Amino acid sequence: MEIPFSEMARRARQTEIIKILAKSSKIPDFISFAIGIPAPETVPVETLKKIANEILEKEGLRALQYSDTKGNIQAILVDFLEKDNIRAKEEEIVITTGAIQGTFLATLALCDPDDIIVSEFPVYPINLQTFRMNVREIIPVSMDSEGMIVDELVEKVNSLSKKPKFIYTIPDFQNPSGITMSLERRKKLVEFAQEKGIFILEDTPYRYMRYEGERLPSLKELGGDIVIHINGFSKTISTGLRVGYVVAPRELAEKMVSIKQGADFSTPLLNQLMVSYFLEKGLWEEQMERIRSIHTSRLHAVLKALKEHFPENVTWTEPRGGTFIWVTLPPKTDIKELLDRALENRVGFVPSSDFYLPEIEKDYPPAMRLNFPYYGEEKIDEGIKRLAKALRETLG
């Protein structure tokens, strides 16, 4: 029977990363730079085990039942955000099932099928999927070493006959590029959004993963109500807890809560409490220090290996935080072939095609995203050597 898929479902496509993960799980001694996750050693398993026990002792049944759709840990998040100069009221915070759900709910709350949004490119494919399914057009804006090119954004938005509903950006250690938006760009972007009355969707899962350099203010700090601020504890505590949050103007936050009822009704209370106990016990600083120390040495190891093993006509970003490096390849590189060769050589990466709209992919050079923190230094060197071999085989 032919399934009568909706137009929305027809726009959903399977990304290469899903296929890579499926294929590579069957290959022994595989080194994957593909999936975006922190060093496994940074996930505080023992601490979380104790905390989960403590919660179940204290809260019992309550922790295992349905909970408030808006979430239950706003009070602790108000204090947490204040340390980052974000002054949020409890009613402006929605707890979400991962940061992904924040973008999903904001998109559904703001966009009609005939709407336009703006996004920087290359960009995180899962949210790109949400945009593709729910709006008519995504206006692409390129990035350089200072982040989204705001002059290009201004020019494009000013030439549109319809105002976009929001501008999507990942200003800190961007996925996939690792680039951080400069202070000057942040100010310019916020000023433009305020002048035009266009929301900015600021997605910040890597914000607190800075290993070097000075802290920069979030767009939320600079822009107040024009900015919808999204984050979560996936990369800093555990991806599997699925605890995220959104800070948005009160009315929008309320609308997102109404929509969330039909998405999953509530984010598991046990998981929310695990995060709030973790923060209340003052374990955050120590956790961030652990991430910083392990990830910094791995970042340097990947950069060193790239320099040693990759040819001169290949360039890469040198991020100061987060988990990704973006490697730009010679224009003639067939990225699909490179991926096949890489898999044959037992190494994985995510190809640039996953991070663009199919219709704009050809306007950008082929590239690969490498997640750098997962392995120790020896494996990193071996993995980069294998990638360099696959690249030589592809370029001939």
Ligand X SMILES: Cc1ncc(COP(=O)(O)O)c(C=O)c1O
Distances (CA, A) of 202 to 84, 129, 167: 15, 17, 8
Total residues binding ligand X (CB under 6 A): 13
Shortest spacing between CB 353 and ligand X, in angstroms? 17
Under rule CB under 6 A, residue 203 binds ligand X: yes
**Residue 322 makes contact with ligand X by CB under 6 A:** no
| Residue 125 touches ligand X, criterion: CB under 6 A | no
* Residue 42 in contact with ligand X, rule: CB under 6 A: no
Strands (E), 8-97: 31-32, 93-97
Residues 269, 286: Cα–Cα separation, whole Å: 24
- First-last CA distance in the chain: 46
Angstrom distance (rounded) from CA 185 to CA 192: 10
Strand locations in 204-266 (E): 227-232, 243-247
> How far is residue 138's CA from residue 168's CA, in Å, rounded to a whole number?
10
Q: Taking CB positions, which residue lies at the least distance from ligand X?
A: 98
Residue 128: CB atoms within 10 Å: 22
Binding mask 236-255 for ligand X (x = CB under 6 A): ---x----x-----------
Q: Closest by alpha carbon to 358, among 5, 11, 103, 100?
A: 11
Q: Closest separation between CB of residue 199 and ligand X, Å?
A: 17
- Residue 178 near ligand X by CB under 6 A: no
In terms of CB distance, is 248 or 314 closer to ligand X?
A: 248
For residue 175, the minimal CB distance to ligand X (Å) is: 3
Beta bridge partners of 143: 148
Q: Which stretch binds ligand X (CB under 6 A): 92-100, 149-157, 287-295, 306-314?
A: 92-100
Of 39, 73, 99, 157, the one binding ligand X by CB under 6 A: 99
Interacting span for ligand X (CB under 6 A) from 97-105, 149-157, 255-263, 348-356: 97-105
Joined tokens for residue 92: 């402006």
Residue 129 interacting with ligand X (CB under 6 A) = no
Which CB, 74 or 204, lies closer to ligand X?
Answer: 204
140, 357 Cβ separation under 8 angstroms: yes
In the complex with ligand X, the residue whose CB is nearer, 13 or 346, is 13
Residue nearer to ligand X on the CB measure, 102 or 366: 102
**Considering beta carbons, is residue 15 or 234 the nearer one to ligand X?**
234
Distance of alpha carbon 351 from alpha carbon 100, whole angstroms = 21
Phi/psi for 261 (5° steps) reads -55, -40
- Residue 205, interface with ligand X (CB under 6 A)? yes
Nearer to ligand X (CB atom), residue 233 or residue 310: 233
Q: How far apart are CA 32 and CA 351, in angstroms?
A: 13
Shortest separation between residue 245's beta carbon and ligand X, angstroms: 9
Q: How far is the CB of 28 from ligand X (least distance, A)?
A: 26
Q: Structure tokens of 393?
A: 């085989």
Q: How far apart are CA 65 and CA 50, in angstroms?
A: 20
Which member of 30, 32, 95, 98 binds ligand X (CB under 6 A)? 98
Asked whether the beta carbons of 327 and 367 are under 8 A apart, the reply is yes
User: Is 278 one of the binding residues for ligand X (CB under 6 A)?
Assistant: no
Give the interface with ligand X as residue ranges (CB under 6 A).
Answer: 36, 98-100, 124, 170, 175, 203, 205, 232, 234, 239, 244
